[in-house]
A and B are shown apart, each in its own frame.
Chain A
Amino acid sequence: MEFSEHIKTANVEDVVLKLPFQPPMRGTLCVTGHHLLFSDRAEEREWQLLLLLRNIDAVEKSVENLLGYPQHPKAGQSQRTTGSSGTIIIKCKDLRILQLDIPGMEECLNIASSIEALSSLESITEMYPFFHRPRELSLNDPWGLSSPEQDYVQTERLWDRWRLSKVNSDFSVCPSYPGAMIVPRTVDDDALVKAARFRQGGRFPVLCYCHHRNSMVIMRCSQPMTGANRKRCREDELLLQAVIDESELGYVIDTRSAQQAQQARMTGGGFESKSFYRPWRRIHRHMERGKVLQESLIKLVEACGDPSHNMDRWLSKLENSKWLSHVHSALSTAGLVAECVERDGHSVLVHGSDGTDTTLLVTSLAQVILDPASRTFRGFLQLLEREWVQAGHPFQQRCARSAHSHARLRQECPSFVLLLDCMWQIWRQFPLALEFSEALLLRLAQEAYASDYGTFLCNNEQERCTLGVKENTHCLFQFLLRCSEREKYINPLYEPTELAIWPSVQPQSLQLWTGLFLRWTEHAETMAEAREEIWTIIKEHRERTGAEETTHTPPTHRDTFTAVENLMDELTIL
Chain B
Amino acid sequence: MEHIRTPKVEQVKLLDRFSNKSTTGTLHLTATHLIFVESNATSAQELWILHHHIASVEKLSLTTSGCPLLIQCRNFRVVHFVVPRERDCHDVYSSLLRLLRPVSYDELYAFSYNPKQNEQQRDEGWQLIDLGAEFERMGVPCDQWQLTDVNRDYKVCETYPRDLYVPITASKPIIVGSSKFRSKGRFPVLTYFYQERKAAVCRCSQPLSGFSARCLEDEHMLQAISKANHNNRYVYVMDTRPKLNALANRAAGKGYENEDNYSNIRFQFVGIENIHVMRSSLQKLLEVVGTRSLSVMDYLVGLENSGWLRHIKAIVDAAIFLTKAVTVEGASVLVHCSDGWDRTAQVCSLGALLMDPYYRTIKGFMVLIEKDWISFGHKFADRCDQLDGDPKEVSPIFTQFLECVWQLTEQFPQAFQFSEWFLIQIHEHIHSCQFGNFLGNSQRQREELQLKERTYSLWDHLLSEQQLYLNPVYSPSFAETHPVLEPSTQPWNFKFWRNMYHQFDRSMHPRQSILKNTVMLKENSKELEIVYLCKTYLLLSWSYILSLYTLPVHSVHPGSLFGEERTVEGSSATENGYGEIKGSFGSKSEPAIVSLEFGVARMTC
Contacts and interface: CB of A to CB of B under 8 A. Distances in A.
Interface of A: 249, 281, 283, 285, 304, 309-316, 318-319, 322, 324-325, 327-328, 332-333, 335-336, 339-340, 343-344, 428-433, 493, 495, 497, 499-512, 514, 518, 521-523, 526-527, 529-530, 533-534, 537-538, 540-541, 544-545
B491 A311 contact: yes
A507 B414 contact: no
Interface in B281-326: 289, 294-301, 303-304, 307, 309-310, 313
Interface in B497-524: 498, 502, 507-514, 517-518, 521-522, 524
B597 A533 contact: no
B139 interface: no
B532 interface: yes
A501 B512 CA distance: 10
B18 A344 contact: no
Nearest to B414: A530
Contact of B588 (A304, A328, A343, A523): A343
Contact of B412 (A501, A504, A526): A526
Given A315-B304, A507-B295, A522-B488, A529 B517 contact: no
B504 to A, nearest CB: 13
21 contacts: A249-B605, A281-B603, A311-B304, A311-B494, A313-B491, A314-B492, A325-B295, A336-B594, A343-B585, A343-B595, A344-B594, A429-B511, A497-B577, A499-B581, A502-B511, A508-B496, A509-B508, A509-B510, A518-B492, A522-B488, A537-B518
Given A344-B591, A509-B508, A541-B525, A432 B517 contact: yes
A375 B275 CA distance: 48
Contacts of B301: 316, 319
Contacts of B115: none
Given A497-B577, A507-B294, A527-B413, A534 B511 contact: no
A534 B520 CA distance: 12
A136 to B, nearest CB: 34
Interface of B: 18, 289, 294-301, 303-304, 307, 309-310, 313, 411-415, 472-473, 475, 478, 488-496, 498, 502, 507-514, 517-518, 521-522, 524-525, 528-529, 532, 577-578, 581-582, 584-585, 588, 591-592, 594-595, 597-599, 601, 603, 605
A462 B528 CA distance: 57
A315 B300 contact: yes
B594 A506 contact: no
Nearest to A337: B598
What 9 A-B pairs come out closest when comparing CB atoms? A314-B491, A507-B299, A319-B300, A530-B413, A315-B304, A335-B598, A311-B310, A533-B473, A544-B528
B585 A324 contact: no
A541 B510 contact: no
Contacts of A324: 296, 300
B299 A502 contact: no
Contacts of B299: 507-508
B336 to A, nearest CB: 24
Nearest to A311: B310
B296 A311 contact: no
A309 B294 CA distance: 27
Contacts of B591: 344
B597 A335 contact: yes
A322 B296 CA distance: 8
Contact of B599 (A310, A332, A529): A332
A512 B303 CA distance: 14
Contacts of A544: 524-525, 528-529, 532
Nearest to A329: B296
A527 B289 CA distance: 28
Contact of B473 (A318, A511, A521, A534): A534
B475 A533 contact: yes
A332 B598 contact: yes
B492 A506 contact: no
A431 B296 contact: no
Given A343-B588, A497-B577, A526 B414 contact: yes
A493 B519 CA distance: 12
Contacts of B511: 429-430, 501-504
A493 to B, nearest CB: 6
B491 A310 contact: yes
Does more than half of chain A's interface fall in helix, strand or loop, or is it mixed? helix
B485 to A, nearest CB: 9
B92 to A, nearest CB: 30
Task: Select the residue from A314, A325, A333, A433 with max chain B CB neighbours within 10 A.
Answer: A314
A153 to B, nearest CB: 31
A538 B517 CA distance: 10
Contact of A504 (B300, B507, B522): B507
Given A315-B303, A318-B300, A530-B473, A508 B289 contact: yes
Given A493-B514, A501-B511, A508 B601 contact: no
Contacts of A325: 295-297
Contact of B517 (A312, A327, A493): A493
A317 to B, nearest CB: 9
A533 B508 CA distance: 27
A263 to B, nearest CB: 21
A508 B508 contact: yes
A248 to B, nearest CB: 10
A535 B488 CA distance: 25
A160 to B, nearest CB: 24
Contacts of B473: 530, 533-534, 537
Contacts of B584: 502
Contact of B414 (A311, A493, A500, A533): A533
Contacts of A319: 297, 300-301, 304
B300 A507 contact: yes
A506 B294 contact: yes
A523 B493 CA distance: 11
B297 A430 contact: no
A506 B508 contact: yes
B300 A311 contact: no
Contacts of A540: 525
Contacts of B513: 431
Contacts of A336: 594, 598-599, 601
A498 to B, nearest CB: 9
A311 B313 contact: yes
Contacts of A328: 295-296
B376 to A, nearest CB: 28
Given A344-B591, A502-B585, A339 B578 contact: no
Nearest to B532: A544
Task: Select the residue from B18, B478, B491 with max chain A CB neighbours within 10 A.
Answer: B491
A512 B492 CA distance: 9
Contact of B512 (A283, A430, A514, A518): A430
A4 to B, nearest CB: 44
Given A493-B517, A500-B585, 4 more contacts: A325-B295, A336-B594, A431-B513, A537-B522
Contact of B578 (A309, A497, A537): A497
A506 B508 CA distance: 7
A495 B518 CA distance: 13
B521 A537 contact: yes
A291 B298 CA distance: 23
B53 to A, nearest CB: 22
B405 to A, nearest CB: 16
B599 A344 contact: no
Given A433-B512, A497-B578, A309 B490 contact: yes
A324 B415 CA distance: 30
Contacts of B498: 508-509
Contact of B581 (A431, A501, A533, A541): A501
B510 A428 contact: yes
Nearest to B519: A537
B289 to A, nearest CB: 6
Given A502-B597, A533-B414, A541-B522, A495 B577 contact: yes
Contacts of A530: 413-414, 473
B524 A541 contact: yes
